[in-house]
Every structure is written in structure tokens, then in C-alpha cells.
Structure 1
Amino acid sequence: MEVRYTNTKDDLVAFNDHHLANSKPYQRRKIINLYVTPVVLLLAFSVFALSTGKVSFYIGGVLGALASYLWTFFAYKRYARKCAEVFQKEVFCEHKVVISDVGVSESTANSSSQFTWDALEKIESNEDYIFIYNTPATAFVIPKREVGKDSFEAVKLALDNAQ
């Protein structure tokens, strides 16, 4: 089966969102940065306030913890979009993906690659995309809007049957 599509910045953002939402190390780091770090900061300043008797350390701890939380919250919220801001000529071009019994091959105007089924990391999908992971953090992103609903479902079925 062969499918052709062109990726946009929104497709790359969708992949980053999907990948980060399903990455256990990223989610663990996000929780630590969002919740643990501000609490540790607040506790450290509280200890200083108790040992010195100065209320200003309490205020500094509360403000520091709040600033830490807000900065981290907005940084993580923007992370997927920030990853897609760098222009990548091998992403934002026409792709041809061929699915066969041997594996998956992908070609663009500037490159081509072929992966056996054993060489692929995983294949995931959601309502709008199919993600064929060729490494733990990169994938061929096949958008439903580019290939059409029928072709999209046919690709999903071909991938399921071929594995």
C-alpha cells in the first residue's frame, strides 16, 4: 500500500503533543518540576524563616514557589509548539510511504529510508494521525486530512495486518 502526504507545522505539533503525553520519563519530569520543586523551595525557605525568625523568608518562599510553578507550567504548556518552530525541510515536504510485507519505506524529494518491521519502534494512532515510530522520539506522521478518511483507515488496517 502506498500513501502520499505533506506535513505542516500543526502535524509536527500534534506529534509532539502525542509523544509527550505518552512519554513516562517526560511526565515524571513534568510532575517533579511542577509540584515537587515548588514544595521543596517553600519548605527550604520555611526552615530559614523558622531558624532566623524573619517573616521575609516565608514571603520569599511563597513567592519563589509560585514563580517556580507558573514558569514551569507555561514552559511545559508551550513545549510541544516550541519544538515545531525550527524549520525542517525533511518534515515539511511531500512524503511517500509504502507499506509492504517486509516493512515500511518512506521517501521525499531529498531522502529515502526503509525499515523492516523489527526495526520500527512502535506504531500508534489517534483519531487524526498515524505515527510510525522509526526511533524512540521520531516518527512518520500521516495526517488523516491529507490522505482522506478511507485511505487513512486502509493504512491503519494494512499496518495492523502487516505486523
Structure 2
Amino acid sequence: MKLNYEINLDDYIEFNLHHLKHSKTVQKSLINQRIAVSLIYLVIPFLISFFFKQPLFGYLLAFSIAAILWFVYFPKYFYRSSKNKMIKHLTEKNDQSLFGEHSLKVDENGMKEITKSSVHEIKWDDIVEIKGTKNYFYIYFTSMQAIVVPLEAIKDDMERLLQFYRKYNIQVLYC
């Protein structure tokens, strides 16, 4: 079976954001940053009051509000910032080898992804996992690298593709 589809900048960014949102390491780091910075905001008024002999209440109120806002809005800021950095990096580098026409050949030996600049062969045993989302299949062949397959582009061949996954006992995790 051969599937042909296009990958663009939005597809690539969507994959990276999905990976960030579902990475245990990133999520742990986000929680640590939210808590640590919020605690720092809560300690600062006491330091100001102690060292500068200022009244505590006003500073405590202001920094408590800052701590709450940081805790609540930091994840949105983090993902928006990550997305903007990805866009900037990908447009600066003009790395067009990631984008454009892709072909995915699926057979008894595994999968072969073909782009204008590379051919990547993956045996069925080398597939780490497959994640399905509302719009994509992410076929992971390492913990951080995956083939991005837009579902819209393969809707006619979806059942045949899922048959290969079942045949080789590869479970699709839906997020």
C-alpha cells in the first residue's frame, strides 16, 4: 500500500506541540517551574519587609496575585512561546526538507517514508508506538521522532493501514 500526502509547517508544529503536551519530562518541568516561581513570588514580600522595614501586607497582596497569575497562565505562555520559537527556527533555517510531498509505503517488511530529500525505512519491530489524534497519526520510531501522517490525506486507506497495525500487534493510542 502506498499513501501520498503533504506535510506543511502547521503539521510539523502541531506534532511538536503534541509531543510537548504529552511528554512526562516536559510536564514535570512545567509543574516544577510553576511551583518554584510561585513560591519565590511569595517569599519576596517577606524579604522586602525584613530587609527594608516595609509593611508586609501590600507587598504580600501584590506578589500573591503575581504568584497566582504565574501558576495559572505559565503553561499557556510556555506553549505559545515554544510555538513561536519553532516557527522562527523553521523559517530562519528554511528547512524545506521536512515539508512537501511525502509517500508512505506500507508492506510486510514495515514502512518506508519517502520525501524529496530522504528515504526512511522502519521495520515493524522498530516502531515504538503509534499515537492517533483528531487530525494525525504519529508513528514513533524513537521516543522523540515520528512520521507525521495527516488523517485527512489517508482517509480512503485508513482501514487498510489499521489492518497492518493489527496484523503486527501494534496498538494505536488515541490522545
- The verdict on a shared fold, with TM-score over 0.5 as the criterion, is yes
- Provide Cα deviations, 1:9-68, integer angstroms capped at 9, x if missing partner: 22123212321222111111112223x023221232143145334237536744763675
8 A contact 2:17–2:79 mirrored in 1: no
Report SS of the residue matched to 2:10: helix
8 A contact 1:103–1:114 mirrored in 2: yes
**Which one is further off, 73-82 or 57-66?**
57-66
**Which one is further off, 56-65 or 81-90?**
56-65
More helix by share: 2
- Structure 2: how far apart are the matches of 1:59 and 1:127? 43
Matches within 5 A, 1:66-105: 68-69=70-71, 72-79=74-81, 81-82=83-84, 84-85=86-87, 86-87=90-91, 88-105=95-112
The TM-score normalised by the length of structure 2 is 0.75
Gaps of 5+ in 1: none
Q: 1:47 matched to which residue of 2?
A: 46
Q: 2:132 matched to which residue of 1?
A: 125
Q: 1:139 matched to which residue of 2?
A: 146
Matches within 5 A, 1:100-115: 100-115=107-122
After superposing on structure 2, the runs of 4+ consecutive aligned residues of structure 1 that deviate more than 4 Å are 66-71
- Structure 1: how far apart are the matches of 2:139 and 2:13? 16
- May I ask how many residue pairs the two structures share in their alignment? 161
Q: 2:159 matched to which residue of 1?
A: 153
Q: 2:2 matched to which residue of 1?
A: 2
Q: Residue 138 of structure 1: CA displacement?
A: 1.9
The TM-score normalised by the length of structure 1 is 0.80
Identity of aligned residues (%): 22
